[in-house]
Structure 1
Amino acid sequence: MSIDLPTVRLRLDEWDRPADADDHEILARCTGPTLDVGCGPGRLTAALAERGGVVLGIDVVSGAVGLTRGRGGAALRRDVFDTLPGEGRWETALLADGNVGIGGDPVALLQRLREVLDPRGRVVAELAAPGTPHTDGWARLECGVEQQVIRWSVVGIEDIDEIAAQAGLVVVERLQCGERWCAVLEEAA
């Protein structure tokens, strides 16, 4: 199988900073035990833990997991499509920093998260700005010298309703946090 050159470059050092006001506005939508999918260097995992919440970060990059743990957050090197601790009991799945693109198939990712979440759970997903076309391709994750190429999608705020519906979810809230866009998804009635 040939892999085209990655269309997206994801440098984890860009997210290696303390959580800012926009991050905290997004985190305010996380209720109960939260799974931070694609936690990167752990700024959001650590911020949720500092609030006293139960939170677990997962990432496929071992360096990212190490950075999350270094911040005091709990993290495992896991792929979201593999078996995860607490399946069926998480109240929130957090997909920050465009992580709704993990796996290159946002519908499949959201369907997987429905298995991981409590049936009353929610997905908090950061999305691309209005006018950004939905694209499927590849991304290069970079954490120091460690690099990994993964399937990746870019999903704009305007595309989330259709993608959520295909996964059996509905958008219950949209928000703009500074320059960032998010949606909260829950089970369709």
Structure 2
Amino acid sequence: MSTPEAVRVTLVRGDITQQSVDVVVNAANSSLLGGGGVDGAIHRQGGPEILAACRELRASHYGKGLPTGKAVATTAGSLDARWVVHTVGPVWSSAEDRSALLASCYRESLRVAAELGARTVAFPAISTGIYGWPMDDGARIAVRTVLAEAAAPVEEVRFVLFDAHAFVEFEEVLAAQG
């Protein structure tokens, strides 16, 4: 029996809505109905099919919204992807350690992607925008979790980082992981 190859982790500076992958991960809010930042961009670029699918989820399984740290898939609409996996990141707090919830976003998104048969997954830097998570710590949690949790059929995890600061932080963490 051959051993599975490690997942390939790549970094891209750019717009996650322009990635050609099986799964685009959305840093969603719990309502699943769109918002600002990555969430708003994915809904705008993906079109009304994503919102319609999210409304169906709200009407069935997630009447109170998607819990923090969980993930669920919908169509990708007009994005160059097969699916969008929505996950709700935690708001950063100096008074409470919520790092396990942030790690859960990556782990649960990878689990859903693998169940779908996805080979390529694009992640944003979850919770590091309006939710206030410090970029260096967010990068550390993201890279560590992906390296530990990604498994077949996922072959590539791409972190799509919007600005130079995020790219440098992720680059440093990835380099330190060897």
Pick the structure with more strand per residue: 1
> Which TM-score band applies after superposition, normalised by the shorter structure?
0.3 to 0.5
State the structure with bigger RCO (CA 8 A, min sep 6), 1 or 2: 2
How does the TM-score come out when normalised to structure 2? 0.41
Q: Which has the higher helix share?
A: 2
Normalising by the residue count of structure 1, what TM-score does the alignment of the two structures yield?
0.39
